[in-house]
Structure 1
Amino acid sequence: MNSLPKTLYLILAAFTVFLLLAPAGMGASIRGLTVDTNEASAEEFCWDATTFGAFCYPVNKHQNFVNDSIAWGERLRIEDIDITHGTFGTSGPSNHVLDEGELVYSTKQFCCKYKLVSELGLSGDSIPEDMGSAFYWKLPFFAKPYIAIENDATQLSSIVCMQGGSDKKTLRTGETWDLGKGYTLTVHQVDAEGNKVWFSLEKDGEEIESAIVEADGTVESQAFTATADFGDGNDQLYFVTYVDSVFMGSVDSLAVFKYTWLVDKDNVLVIENGDEYQGLEVKEASETGLVLKNPDTITIDVDSDKKTYFTDSWYFQTSDDGKGTEGIGYILYPAMDLSNPGTYKIRGLTLDTGINDASSFGWDATTFGAFCYPVNKHQNFVNDSIAWGERLWIEDIDSTHGSLGTSTPSNHVLDEGELVYSTKPFCCKYKLVSELGLSGDSIPEDMGSAFYWKLPFFAKPYIAIENDATQLSTIICMQGGSDKKTLRTGETWDLGKGYTLAVHQVDTDGNKVWFSLEKDGEVLESAIVEADGTVESQAFTATADFGDGNDQLYFVTYVDSVFMGSVDSLAVFKYTWLVDKDNVLVIENGDEYQGLEVKEASETGLVLKNPDTITIDVDADKKTYFTDSWYFQTSDEGKGTNGGYIIYPATDVTIEAEPAPESAENELAEVEISPDETNSTADSSGSKASPAPEVRVSNSASSESDDESSEQSPGFGLLTCILGLCAVFVRRK
């Protein structure tokens, strides 16, 4: 292969890989409690671990986390110390500028009991001597847990490993446990009697501790601890483990480890005044806690499509301007991107059964982050008389077990029908309409209006067909206002659920594109669209009969631009909106979804309730699922006020690592282009374009016949020939 074709291949390969990479920030997020700048006073712009789910929240410590005089854990607040731009809140609802030092992040350490101590019920002399006491001090710093060495918030050590109370790690002889940060634990031998194990702790392959432990039923024998000099302290505990059992079999010998606790003694983070972390400057660094503030002015972008980052991963999200109460001000909340692989918990607002009465046990989209929350619809989401979107509440309709709350703070049983989930559709404007500022006659006729109705059902967005909550269609694709999809000739866009959009050809003048919408390989719609600067020409819509309606809109797209180059021809699509017309979900009374039964199914909304009794497990280490993915999490019994407990709804979100893209150059090297394909339009991989379908034309000449329309695009035949010759050239080379 000579240099020019090879170079072109590499350029195409690189560009293809670029298009396959997912944009940053496409994952889920954790939201904090929302604040309305025209309704909240200045002192209400604050969040703690119960109101911002990104913060570390050990539920059994709830009382000391919400007590302002103790204030364990993390807090974020906005305070007015500079009159340059005024205060936030009712006195200045349109203000969106944080002057230097007005954004305050603070964190204080809190005490924790070693699992070895709490799970085995140790106290006094039964606690291993090297542990010093039953407790250590943990400090969350930008949501990451650290150990405060000698209870000093300015000396932090990373937690490398911390087994839960029920966690076990079984290791065979010769196996190694990767604890993290270069630390490993290796089992070397088990004695012939099967009651002793020899193991070692290593760091980067170098042994730092070694022990022979006998599982004789005593804590003194089975527990192993290790200390070292780090931070400003001598003989600081950094490793704890417990050999729960040892086994010698005819084939395998093994040991079981529990309550393991390890901190990184070799990398101590020392924090001082003036240091800067994640864009915030340390203003107070003392043994009792840390306070950081913004060193520079922060201008919050009041735009629902934009984020204003104030740390590496935390940001402020707002509504558009004027979406606050009475059309004044805006909605604001802190949030965190979930971009790193892992499993995250999204919590709802916490409630204390010893303080909150029965009427308080309710959550909406502003207080439970699992629910769909379009921030610009805030007013109608929180207005109880309108109540758009999803809601979850507990009501007392059966006196068998009483109500949750202050009247019976220890009650943890929901009788039949006492857990209620409701959802109502809300109107949304098509992006094509909102982004292009369309109204009246400028809106494409097939769209019917500027709006459609969306209904969230167990946090999944659906379209309510003809604004009927009992007839739902899945949203397959919905491009954001700034989203673009670029497709070369021959490329296919996988929209989801078997739907694809394929670009077949671009005319020689580079202003028309022929594309088709397909489902499972079958052409549903096809069009030649001209990018002539008019919505009438550049927008394409498609309707079908589905649900109980005729000519229902199911597809919208907009050809933003078309390009014909010497190497590539391509088209750019925006505002694409697609629903699944072939799979309508019809909901009726008596149906059951995710363990809840439909009690009310009407055009205006749905109400579901628990068909059976739900017994909430009042245990901080356990979850009580009430749907496939939503559950109640509680503290242990008695951790609330007046003998009650803490409770909140939650869901777990898993962010998976993206697979590494395969070598595009290798893929291209495997391409086979045969001579009989030279009359077909080919993409860069040599695959055939779809057979020529019946073509719908979306331009000013749409009333003319298909044949006449085809004649208006003379460049397509020539383009096919050129690409065919290129294919032969590549084949011969």
Structure 2
Amino acid sequence: MRGGDMTWRLLPVLVVAAVLACVGTGMGMDAGAGAGVLEFDGEVVQLTGAQTGDSIWNKSNFGGFCYNLSDDACVGTEALTIAAYTLEGPGIDRTIDENCLIYTTSPIWHEYELYRNLGLTVGGNSTYWVEFWMGEECIAINQSANSPAKLLVEWDSTNTRTIAIGEEWDLGMGYTLNAVGIDHRSDKVLLSLKKNGMELDDMIIDVSGSDLQDRVCTYTANVSGVPDTPVFSCYVSTVFRGTRSNMVQVKYVFLIDDTVTGIHAGDDYGVMEVKTISSSGITLKNDVPIDLTSNTTTPIMGNLSFKTTGNTSAVEFYPHLIREEPPIHSGGGGFVLDNYWIDSSWNLSENYSIAAKDVSPGGDKARIVVLKNGVVVGEALLTEELRASVDSDCSYSYVKNGTEIINATLKAAFRGYASNGVGLAEVYQRSEVDGSILTNNASHLFKSADPAGIPWHLADGYILAMKDIGFNDDDVWLELSKNGVVVEEEILNEDYASMFVYTSGTGGGVTCMVDRVFGGCEANAVKLVNISQYSDVNGTTLIAEESHFYRSADPAGMAWELMDEYVLTMKDLKDSHGRWFHGEDKVWLELSKDGIMLKEDILESGDLFAYENGLESVDCTVEAVFKGCLADVVKLKNINQYSSTGVPLIENGSKTYATADPAGEMWELYEGYSFVPKDIDINGDKAWLSLLKDGVIVKDAIVVDYGDDCWFEYYNATGALVFRAYLDAVFYGTESRLIQLTYASQYSEINGSALILFDKGDKKTFLVSYRHPTTLTVGDHSGVDFTSIQAAIDAALPGDTVYVYAGTYSEDVGVNKRLTLEGEGADAVTVTNHASDSPIFNVTADYVNI
């Protein structure tokens, strides 16, 4: 309470300090800069007579005891009290006697920002205990007030930091975080946390899954005798592998100083002594008198002091606190500066601009920066909106002094064959002067080039051009122009954002949907469906629900002649070479008659191809599309063809298009059967497998090593199961290609008994040829591959041919693989063995032709 001879007044500096403490300094502090300093002054006491009541400073009247834990709310539990009747002014008693100055504090419960915003935990914990100690924010280890650890930083939802791969980020207090490297085939990053140069922990974080908890990187340690105490944590929002840069983005950084000095009763801190301590709080009192001499600064403890003025008519004083701000207290800063740009920057108001820096090869992420007067003030790695796991992954908010200045959402990231692009939408800008809206729901497309593309002339002077397709084979860039002026352009995706919509101011417009995007080995193609155009003059329909097929070339492909002059051609396959990302394999099919194309389509496994003209029809289902290392394969099933009179010409047929016929290591089974892996796909997750009976293929299939389609099975004409195996793994190495089977079984066609019966632990590994069958030559002249027949056999792969030129060869020849041995002539080639009692050719493999 306040006495009648004691007055209080507020110094202007208190207002500024309280705002700094409870609102924060916003983004923009360079994370690499040294620690800043904040100063706080409390309410001023003026004593012209006796102090008839307690003089108390707490969060309400002292900015040094006010903390912004979240939502700009002032929180604090510290209190500094001078007991009533301790002082008397103006000059009667200026001394605070022993035990008359009391400092109290207690821990309070607080949610991690990570949990409050995303519902994720830090080391399994959603909350921690905050203790305010001598004007500093600390962590009460294990809820114990006597074990405060200094809280160095905790970021809220507005703070982000990008770290280039190989960069070591200085967190302060000797801590550093290093982004060691990223996985070039997945969204994984290796992080290393160090203190004073010594590694504390390294962690691999994978952001590709749907479980966001996997993105949380947490280091725990034994702090003050409490094991598994979270010391550092961050949320990895994005792992970015760009065309020009590799980096990661972290949010919700949390860090404490793991060096804790315990507090005990009787400990001295400045002029204060710890009197009582428990899990619920601490009380300190001065153990020496404190003189409040005019115009002096009198230390209390730590960075807390009393400042007295030169007022001679009163005892006038106030508490003062100096608080060091950690280097990364406010977040942001430390941007990755380089000269990579996509297009020029997009100028906004008040000298702000946005620039696109890079895109990911998969066309799903982009890197953007915000500039003020040409200087980077904000940076973000964003994921396309429709692919983002949470909203914060696709949107960026630039905040300055507590005000959101710019907000933008990534609609599209485009890695094209001819150009890269970044599409931003829902862009808003507020004035940093008065908070007014300067930009409202704007959009912008950054593009590194402006390819001509493939035009399609519509009505009324409109042209709809397919400018480019994405390297991921599901994005396409469409541009609509009228009389040479671009009126709409969009980057669309066949799965996520497929609708193109343009409406003119006069009621006209163009709409369509992207059905398929195809990046083939020989040509690129895009199929649009549901195309409609309405007149700008009166809104009448000019095009109604049509389709259109863009193609960059017209490959010959592989033709199959059906009945009645029909031809079904496999035009091209999706090109997956050199891509660590891949979706479903695709095939381009074309049906023609008498040289006239009737229908073409881009299909995936399981899709239906259908054509009808009255009673005349052709339809089939794509069973499998396979882009192999040695062969391209397309398998069609359920093929049906009907004549113009409705007569069935083909019923439930099948067809395999194959550009080659490779063969790997053969497994000899029983009763004339053999198993041969033919090829694996270039992505290393499919295999082309075959089963032969007496050297004739009775079953071949494309099998995947994931999901529910991993079984290879053969039933004979009677419906009896003869052979089955589970494709456990496909291995695409630099020097070898392998498959591994488990659960292999064979049953006799004679009596149904089990001839082979493997369980999960019984694995069978096969070498798959890593090149096409070739011919190896043997002779004693220059230009041949080998001078020994056996050397050629040892080097050959199953399916190869060994050709022997004229000459006499003395060697014991062992043939242990499926080969063809061919001589220049029976009278020209002579082979003798070393021992007369051994065979010249010792053949231990089947299907050897000599």
Relative to the length of structure 2, the TM-score reads 0.34
Greater share of strand: 2
Higher relative contact order structure (alpha carbons within 8 Å, sequence separation ≥ 6): 1
Relative to the length of structure 1, the TM-score reads 0.39
Greater share of helix: 1
> Which of structures 1 and 2 has the bigger CA Rg?
2
